[in-house]
């Protein structure tokens, strides 16, 4: 019985063993948090791409308006005057000379939110590729900049665009903060819902453990775990356990047969010795005291 108890000891709950329910709950919450993190990251990337696309669309609209003016502006002064009329509170455009020097943008800067003392020539190396949009940061302010060449008559000029996206980034950070708070609350709510679900889901495993513990050496020959009543995932465990019980029962029967055979083989000579010793003891009048004591011992 002691050996059979040790056999079933792995199926008994132990205080130092990990909890499968807690591990499943932790992994589920990690998966939920990972999904929310992926969602927040994708939202940030899509917002960044949308800002760049809007910048390109605005620059294309300014270029289209500039090309559609009649008469077509040809000198740098005419182009600068036309761009000055298209300025918005957060979008600035100007003309660059062949040497990359801003032309006629000083008057526009006074209407724009670019910090005082920041030279526009600093933008010369930013966003020079076709369709390329670069990010600039001056302190707490963030800008998008791009440039492109256009043909006005026989002249070819480079237009430079600068857009202030500081307010858009502030709105995005607020949105991401709200999303992270919502994700945390949703994860907490999910954890509260998962606890009873996991308890109910793991109930068949608990019942299987109780049925295994109910089997003892007295019922080893007859009692087995029902495989049909088990879920699909636990059926192989029940089959393996029943197979183990069959082999253990056969081994138990062999041990009993060996013990019965040994006891039968020893019973006859022991009985003969006992009977002869009893007869000699009853006739102990001719024996010494030491011989009588030895005979009593036999």
Q: Using one digit for the tens of pLDDT, what is the confidence trace for 268-281?
A: 888 888 888 877 77
List C-alpha distances in Å: 24 to 20, 189, 208. Answer: 6, 16, 19
pLDDT mean over 59-78: 70
Rounded CA gap, 104 and 89, in Å?
18
> What is the rounded CA–CA span in Å between residue 103 and residue 80?
7
Torsion from C-alpha of 294, 295, 296, 298, nearest 10 degrees: 90
- Between CA 230 and CA 215 the distance in angstroms is 17
Q: Using the predicted structure, report yes or no on whether residue 110 has a pLDDT greater than 60.
A: no
Q: What percent of the chain has pLDDT over 70?
A: 72
Q: Is 0.75 topped by the overall pTM?
A: no
| Other beta carbons less than 10 A from residue 217's beta carbon | 14
In sequence order, what are the residues at sequence separation of 6 or more whose Cβ sits closer than 8 angstroms to the Cβ of residue 90? 113, 163, 164, 165, 167
Listed ranges 97-101, 106-110, 176-180, 282-286; the one with the highest mean pLDDT: 176-180
Check whether 160 has a pLDDT greater than 50. yes
CB 235 within 8 A of CB 227: yes
Q: Which residue has the higher pLDDT, 131 or 25?
A: 25
Q: Which parts of the chain are beta strand (E)?
A: 91-96, 102-103, 134-138, 141-152, 155-164
Structure tokens at 93: 């455009």
Share of the chain above pLDDT 90, in %: 8
Q: Would you say residue 232 has pLDDT above 90?
A: no
The pLDDT of residue 3 is above 50: no
* Rounded Cα distance, 173 and 178, in Å: 9
Per-residue confidence at 63, pLDDT binned at 50, 70, 90? confident
Highest mean pLDDT among 1-10, 249-258, 281-290: 249-258
Q: Residue 125 above 60 pLDDT? A: no
Residue 15 has pLDDT above 70, yes or no: no
CA angle 79, 83, 89 (to 5 degrees): 165
CA dihedral sign, ordered 43, 48, 49, 53: positive
159 vs 33, which has greater pLDDT? 33
CB within 8 Å of 292: residues ≥ 6 apart: 281, 284
- Report pLDDT for 230: 82
Helix, strand or coil, per DSSP, at residue 16: coil
């Amino acid at each position: 019985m002691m050996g059979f108890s040790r056999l079933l000891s792995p199926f008994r709950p132990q205080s130092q063993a990990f909890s499968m329910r807690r591990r499943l709950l932790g992994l589920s919450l990690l998966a939920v948090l990972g999904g929310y993190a992926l969602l927040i990251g994708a939202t940030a990337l899509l917002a960044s791409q949308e800002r760049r696309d809007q910048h390109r669309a605005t620059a294309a609209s300014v270029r289209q308006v500039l090309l559609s003016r009649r008469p077509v502006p040809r000198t740098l002064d005419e182009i600068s005057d036309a761009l000055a009329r298209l300025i918005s509170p957060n979008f600035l455009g100007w003309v660059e000379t062949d040497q990359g020097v801003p032309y006629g943008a000083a008057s526009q800067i006074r209407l724009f939110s670019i910090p005082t003392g920041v030279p526009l020539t600093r933008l010369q190396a930013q966003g020079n590729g076709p369709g390329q949009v670069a990010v600039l940061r001056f302190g707490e302010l963030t800008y998008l900049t791009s440039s492109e060449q256009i043909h006005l008559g026989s002249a070819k000029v480079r237009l430079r665009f600068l857009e202030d996206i500081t307010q858009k980034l502030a709105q995005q950070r607020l949105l991401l903060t709200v999303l992270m708070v919502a994700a945390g609350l949703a994860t907490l709510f999910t954890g509260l819902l998962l606890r009873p679900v996991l308890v109910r889901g793991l109930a068949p495993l608990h019942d299987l453990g109780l049925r295994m513990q109910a089997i003892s050496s007295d019922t080893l020959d007859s009692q087995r775990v029902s495989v049909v009543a088990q879920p699909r995932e636990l059926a192989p465990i029940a089959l393996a356990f029943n197979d183990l019980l069959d082999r253990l029962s056969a081994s138990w029967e062999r041990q009993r047969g060996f013990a019965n055979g040994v006891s039968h083989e020893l019973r006859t000579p022991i009985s003969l010795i006992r009977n002869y010793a009893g007869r000699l003891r009853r006739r102990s009048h001719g024996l010494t005291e030491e011989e009588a004591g030895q005979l009593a011992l036999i």
